Chain A
Amino acid sequence: MADATANAHKRHGSLTQVDPRTRRRNAAEARFKAYGLAAIALGIFFLVVLAFSIIRSGVPAFTTTVVSLEMNVSPAEIDQAESGMLKTAAYTKLFIAQLGSQMQEQGIGGEVDPEAIGRILGKVGNDLRAFYQANPDAVGEPVDFTVNASSRVDGYFKGRVTREGLVDSRFLVATDLDVVDQLTEAGIITRQFDWGFLLGKDAGVDNPGGAGIGASVLGSFFMMLVVLVLSLPIGVAASIYLEEFAPKNRFTDIIEVNISNLAAVPSIVFGILGLAVFIQFASLPQSAPLVGGLVLTLMTLPTIIISTRASLKAVPPSIRDAALGVGASKMQAVFHHVLPLAAPGILTGTIIGLAQALGETAPLLLIGMVGFVAREFPTGFWDGFVEPNSAMPAQIYTWAARSDVAFYEKAWGGIIVLLVFLLIMNAIAIVLRRRFERRW
């Protein structure tokens, strides 16, 4: 204080004149405020960058480059292809031959080089063979075929592969791109929306063009069913007990401490639990959505319990008192009056818990739900729970871990699909909260 008085004597200015010390303090104030704004701006900037890179890299996954061709295969050719050892390769050759003759008719590419066409095409043989085996009548008739181009040609259209950066390899040679350009002009190669990505199943490491996320979406769906069916009733029952009935004693304390700790246990530890208890100990099938659902149930229970307790607590005591006053038992008061009033809040919390579970990856990897398992669709509703499958995030992880760059695009596309599901779930939760939330 002595300093302050001493300063006051030295000061010649007035209140209207800002002295250096005040200026310094004001500058510090402005700086401090600017730090805060910058921090928020930085946070939002990260969000924008994240959203931008997801959209920019993911949207191309929804289109694919295709080669369309009218095929006319004679029965003799089919017999010949079926008699060989490499059946799909023989079918590929058939397709190449037909494409080559059509190119010659239209005067594309000069001398026809079957190998070049082979490099442009993706995996055609399998689809072709499957089609003719399913439709024997089509043999000898003209059939319109649309098959995927190879992933590098696809990358050329999406800017992943460029003329300048192209190193000649057995997968693609620079001159092939001229042929591709001509074929595009002739309308044989086109880009179209890729239903195969949304509805398909995972393909092998060598076939990025054929990989789809459909099977793992189903895997996630079955898991979410298990989580919903188990975690909602158990979570609600546990919350009702803790909030309405539990006496204040050690047992209740232990449960409370347990729940708050479980909410913060790393998710991978739940994966270890699932592996040791459900697979090792209880011998449940590996890679099954049922086991994944059980693990995720244990993981989301604390979240659901915490939010359910909050909404039970929000129901005013007068409701309970009124019910008890007209002769209801404690149980009746809770189940007939408190629970229905808390229901919107409980549902909102459950949906948010489910959304959290939907994006969880690490525990699924430990119980074997990795992406390449999703090679087949489940054969039926009940089988869907126990047949090996993957889930969306695990499928994305598998794609991201593969070395072929074409799979990265699939991974980003998969993220868009995953985020769309999460967005829908959160939107439902928000709508529920807005419409039914009651302020007491």
Chain B
Amino acid sequence: MKVVFVEHNRCLACRNCERVCSFQEAGGFKSENTNIWVQIDMDQRTIFTLTCLQCDVAACLNICPANAIRRDPHTGAVVVDEKLCVGCRMCVFACPFGCMHFENLQHVAAKCDLCGGDPKCVKNCMAGALHYADINYLANMKRKKVDQTFAKTSPLHEGPHRS
């Protein structure tokens, strides 16, 4: 299963992902339409970027009373069928990550649908912080990078002691 993955320590908050996402969604560059979010906290000086994880056990999908949320058979993405959505917002409350949003004009729920398998946010991430790849490949990549970081910083990873 391929997902969009955010490598947080690469994101420099240019916000281009938000813009192309909202364009894909609604034709403009309006932050209320995006399904990927860049949070910049100037007090803490942190950048945190988040998008849907396409959960295997998806709370949004399970809770939807109208059966409007289903899994796309081609991409594996959890997608909203706007024609079936009744606008009850149960999914918005159910998602533990805050990755569902509600379109106030159309009164329907909205979320990342992986652009049908060609996510625009990833193509527009010039920092290389966004990846679109198999979840196990991504986990492996992350493990390797964590290892490398530890190798540099932790005394436990300095290698065998000379005696």
Instruction: Note whether A and B form a binding pair.
Output: no
What is A's interface to B at a CB cutoff of 8 Å? none
What is B's interface to A at a CB cutoff of 8 Å? none
